Structure formats: C-alpha cells, structure tokens
Amino acid sequence: MTILLTGCDGYQGWPMLMRLGVKYPDEKIIGVDNFTRRHWVAEVGSWSAIPIYPMDERIESFKEFFKLNNLEFRYMDLRNWSVVDNLIREEEPRTIVHYAAQPSAPYSMIDAEHAIDTQMNNVKSTLNLIHSINKNNLDTFLIETTTMGVYGTPNIDITDELLPVEFRGRKDTLPFPAQAGSWYHWSKVHDANNLLFAYRVYGMNVIDLRLGIVHGIRTEESERDKSLATRFDFDFWFGTLFNRFAAQCVAGFPLTIYGEGGQTRGYISLEDTIRVTELAVEAEKKGYNLINTFLETASVKMVAEKIQEAGKNIGLNVELKSVPNPRKEAEKHYYNPSNEKMFNLGFKSKYDLISSLEVVLKDLSEYKERIVVKKDKFLPKVLREKL
C-alpha cells in the first residue's frame, strides 16, 4: 500500500512524512515537493530561523534514526497534470495527504502576479489530484488541510456541519458561507468547494481539515535530531502569528500588535495538527467530511501577552507595541467556531500553552543570530518606519 503526501518539504509536510513513515513501516510513503516554499521565502529576503537540511539528507537521517527505509521523495510540480497523473496511476495511493500550497496571505496580497500565482498554484494542484484519482477509478482518501480563514469572522457561531437556513418562508441546510480575507484564503475556498463537488459528482472520499493557525517547532520525530527539524519562518509574509511573535521575543524586538489587537482566530500546535492529520489518515472516513481543526481561540493581543509571559519566565523581557494594521480586517468582532468533530476522531491534546511556548523560545534562542540579522523582515517597510 502507498500513501502520498504533497508538500513534504514544508513546515507541516516534513514532520507528517516522518509520522507516516513511523506509523506505517510496511507501507511505501511517497513525499512530493518542488521546493517552491524555500524560493518564496528567499524572494522576500528571509529564511527559516532553524536551518533545514536538503531533502536527501533528511531522508537519510530518518533512515538512520528510525531504522526504516519506507520514505521516498519525488521532485514534482503538482501543477503539471501529466506528472501528477503518471504518479497516481502507477502508485494507486490508498490515501493522499495534500499540504502543497502557497500558504501565505500577505504574500498573496503583494500584487496581481502573486495573487494569480497563488490561486493558480493552489487550485490547479488540487484539481489535478481530484481528476487523476477519478480518471484512474481509485478509491483514494483525499485529505486536504484548508484553513479556518475560509469562514472569515461572521457575527454568528461557525459550524463544520451544514448551516440551517430559513429564507422567505423556506428552509434548507447549506454549506457555511465563505468570507475569506486574502487571495490565498480565497484559493482555499475554491479548493474546499472543489473537494465538496468531487464528492458530489464522483463520490470521492474527502476530508477537509479546516486548520487554525499552526505554531510551534517540535514533533515527536523532529525533536530527535537537528537534521530532522522542520522549518520555522518569522518574517511578515511567511511567519504566522505565534511563531513571528516568538522570534520577535527572542530577538528582543517589540511584539507588534496590528491596531487594537482584537482580531481573534483559532490556533493549534504543530504536534497537535500532525496528530489530528494522523488520526484522519487512520479513520479512512468514507464520503465527505469537513472538520474544523484548532484547539483554542485567542486575539492577537492575547497571543502577544502569552508570549510575553512565557518570555518573562525564561528571562526574556519584551514590550508590546501597537502598529497601524496593514490588513483590511475587523479589529473587534464575534468569533465562536466549533471543533467537536476533531475530538470525535479520538484526538486528545497533551498541550500546555505556556510551557510549550517556553520550549519554543528556548529552542529558538539557539538561532537568535539568524533571526536578529533578518529582523527588518518582521514588518513591511512602511510599518518599520512607523515603529
């Protein structure tokens, strides 16, 4: 049996590839990537705080530490229909974990070219997978991590069930409306709709894991050795909130809160998201499944305060500083999404926020110089000048 994982060089992809390798020692685990994330981060002038090893060295190191020889890597651009279709026809994967995407909202908002490339990359890659599974008459489970950002911030509770609607005296249950906030997030709305349609028209087995913002460094496998580490981005474009604030804290740079800092989102640690994805692979859920995947919600200000507290506990003192919000978003709003279905998969978190943040800050401190040298990348130029 074969499991295919797309985006295996990425932040989540590499630890998930190792998790699958360890969990399914008798299966072939194929990872694909075109290393485009490495190029995108270089394009904005930044780098991963934690140095990441070339893919062949990562795989050799995995072999050495876990005494397993079941990981395979294929360099591949998922936008290319014939290479995707050849791979899927030859390997007939029982499950595909689809992570490959351009995942940054600010990067997708740079200009027309970045917006269009993001949508073409993300939507085309997913369509190629859907169509190849269907064309080859496979019963493959297709698991994609979309994003909680698909929903935006509606003034009602967010559910991953169908939404009961009553309008002009008639009732129905409909997919929850999408109100995404960037071209990237809209690419995931399109993916989510295409996944639902693939289920409706082809009966495809789909799990849409609608992910909150992921944070952290360590997973059970990656913490074994530096050569197994995953990337950790901290720049304005690719650093997600917790991770960027953690890097700012280590660099002694103020934690920059956009506007009032009331923007509230769902969050989940890297280890927890890998665990949920692992459970989704194990569950082999037939049909269409949408699962909100986050552990807790917090405002930007609350996240900054938590990092500040964890920093203080280990002797790092940073101030909080409000800067003009570079994004068009509500700074005060209602936010109440549900996440029960994630627990129905059997998920239990061992996570403790403050102690985990302390571990992140300690791990990052080792790479302080790599962060400090790029500290002008925490904010876009226009905001740096206002600091």
Closer residue to ligand NAD (CB): 11 or 62: 11
Closer residue to ligand NAD (CB): 36 or 263: 36
Query: Which 69-88 residues touch ligand NAD, going by CB under 6 A?
Result: 76-79
Q: Which amino acid is at 377?
A: K
Piece of the chain touching ligand NAD by CB under 6 A; list 32-40, 168-176, 193-201, 284-292: 32-40
240 near ligand NAD, judged by CB under 6 A: yes
Q: Which amino acid is at 233?
A: D
Q: Which of 11, 24, 99, 184 is catalytic?
A: 184
Closer residue to ligand NAD (CB): 54 or 203: 54
Instruction: Tell me, yes or no, if 188 is annotated catalytic.
Output: yes
36 near ligand NAD, judged by CB under 6 A: yes
- Pick the binder of ligand NAD from 70, 95, 119, 121 (CB under 6 A): 121
Instruction: Tell me, yes or no, if 145 is annotated catalytic.
Output: no
Closer residue to ligand NAD (CB): 12 or 222: 12
Closest CA to 306 of 229, 245, 217: 245
Closer residue to ligand NAD (CB): 272 or 363: 272
Strand pairing of 170-174 and 163-167? antiparallel
CA 265 to chain centre: 14
Please list, in sequence order, all residues whose beta carbon lies within 8 angstroms of the beta carbon of residue 283, skipping any fewer than 6 positions away.
207, 345
Give me the phi and psi of 244, to 5 degrees please: -65, -45
- Provide the β-strand partners of residue 299: 264
37 near ligand NAD, judged by CB under 6 A: yes
Q: Please report, for residues 161, 175, 200, 209, the alpha-carbon distance to residue 179 in angstroms, rounded to integers and kept in the order given.
A: 17, 12, 23, 18
Q: Which of 2, 99, 140, 188 is catalytic?
A: 188
Instruction: Tell me, yes or no, if 140 is annotated catalytic.
Output: no
265 near ligand NAD, judged by CB under 6 A: no
Closest CA to 140 of 204, 198, 200: 204
Residue 235 CB, nearest approach to ligand NAD (Å): 13
Residue 323 CB, nearest approach to ligand NAD (Å): 21
DSSP state of 97: E
Give the other-Cβ count within 10 Å of 52's Cβ: 21
Give the other-Cβ count within 10 Å of 254's Cβ: 17
Residues with catalytic function: 147, 184, 188
Residues contributing to the site for ligand NAD (CB under 6 A): 7, 9-13, 32-37, 76-79, 99-101, 103, 121, 125, 145, 147, 211, 213-214, 240
